[in-house]
Amino acid sequence: MTQKINVADLPDFDMAEELRTDEDIAIYLTQVLEENDTAELNHALGVIARARGMTEVARASGLTREALYKALRPNAQPRFDTIARVCAALGVKLVAQVAHA
pLDDT digits 0-9 by tens, 14-44: 999 999 999 999 999 999 999 989 899 999 9
How remote is the C-alpha of 91 from its chain's centroid? 13
**DSSP letter, residue 21:** S
- Could you tell me if 27 and 19 are in contact, meaning their C-beta atoms sit under 8 angstroms apart? no
How far is it, in rounded angstroms, from Cα 61 to Cα 88?
7
Position 62 scores a pLDDT of 96
Q: Is residue 11 part of a domain?
A: no
Single-letter amino acid, residue 50: R
Q: Report how many domains make up the chain.
A: 1
Q: Is residue 99 part of a domain?
A: no
- Write the pLDDT tens digit of every residue in 37-90: 989 999 999 999 999 999 999 999 999 999 999 999 988 999 999 999 999 999
Q: Is residue 65 part of a domain?
A: yes
- Could you tell me if 85 and 59 are in contact, meaning their C-beta atoms sit under 8 angstroms apart? no
Domain that holds residue 64: 20-90
The structure's pTM equals 0.83
Q: Is residue 14 part of a domain?
A: no
Q: Is residue 7 part of a domain?
A: no
CATH classification of the domain holding 37: 1.10.260
Q: Is residue 75 part of a domain?
A: yes
Q: Is residue 76 part of a domain?
A: yes
From residue 77, give the alpha-carbon distance in Å to each of 8, 16, 40, 44, 91: 32, 22, 11, 14, 21
